[in-house]
Amino acid sequence: MATSIFIVHTNPVEGRESEFNEWYSERHLRDVVAIPGFVRARRYHRSDAQFAPLSDFEYVAIYEIEGNPAEAMRSLRHALKAGLEVSSSMAQPVYATVYEPITEWVADPA
């Protein structure tokens, strides 16, 4: 089955960026990819080189999901209810959306 992506837009609480980045990069990504359906994750920081910025969020995490994304989301919700740590250094709101592929990857044939 094609890989879906789960994109999470976040910001740190003011004055807690170092704590936020350490928790997110060193712990949270690994915790989430241990959940059934999630296969890998990567974080990004918003670049100064923008074409048409989407939002005021400084950070985004992209998780790849193999299999049924609805099942992966159910597993994530269950993990959160069971105590998956969410650091208080993460500001609210957080925007999180699952996207399913509608095309194959397109690459330069050269």
Tokens encoding 9: 């837009």
Query: Per-residue DSSP letters for 33-101?
Result: HTSTTEEEEEEEE--S--SS---S--EEEEEEE-S-HHHHHHHHHHHHHTT----TTB-S--EEEEE--
Whether the pLDDT of residue 19 is over 60: the answer is: yes
Domain extents in the chain: 4-47+67-99
How high is the mean pLDDT of the chain?
A: 94
Instruction: Determine what percent of the chain is predicted with pLDDT higher than 90.
Output: 85
Give the chain's largest Cα–Cα span: 49
pTM: 0.91
pLDDT tens for 41-93 read 999 999 988 887 767 899 999 999 999 999 999 999 999 999 999 999 999 99
Whether the pLDDT of residue 2 is over 70: the answer is: no
